[in-house]
Amino acid sequence: VCSSDLEIVQDRTSKAPDADTARAIREGLRARGVLVGTTGKHANVLKVRPPLAFTEELVPTFVDALTAVLADLR
């Protein structure tokens, strides 16, 4: 099982932390049945830690949910 941390920033140039957007993504994923956490000094890092029961067949569920959440944030 692999894990990933995704840092959410306001823009690529300043790289200023964006805790509000990280929180919105976390809650949007939760509403779609995908659990992730937030961490980091500024609470702007999404902590993606799939459970041991996570299989390749579930990857589209995560990707679809994340894509929908990001589209909603625009």
* pLDDT tens for each residue of 4-35: 899 999 999 999 999 999 999 999 999 998 99
Residue 11: strand, helix, or coil: coil
Tens digits of per-residue pLDDT, 28-68? Answer: 999 998 999 999 999 999 998 877 777 889 889 989 999 99
Q: 26 exposed, middle or buried (CB, 10 Å; 0-12, 13-18, 19+)?
A: buried
pTM value?
A: 0.86
**Which of the four pLDDT bands, split at 50, 70 and 90, describes residue 2?**
low
> For 7-13, which contacts have Cβ atoms below 8 Å and span 24 or more sequence positions?
7/40, 7/44, 7/45, 7/46, 8/44, 8/45, 8/46, 9/44
User: What is the spatial distance between Cα 66 and Cα 68, in angstroms, rounded to a whole number?
Assistant: 5
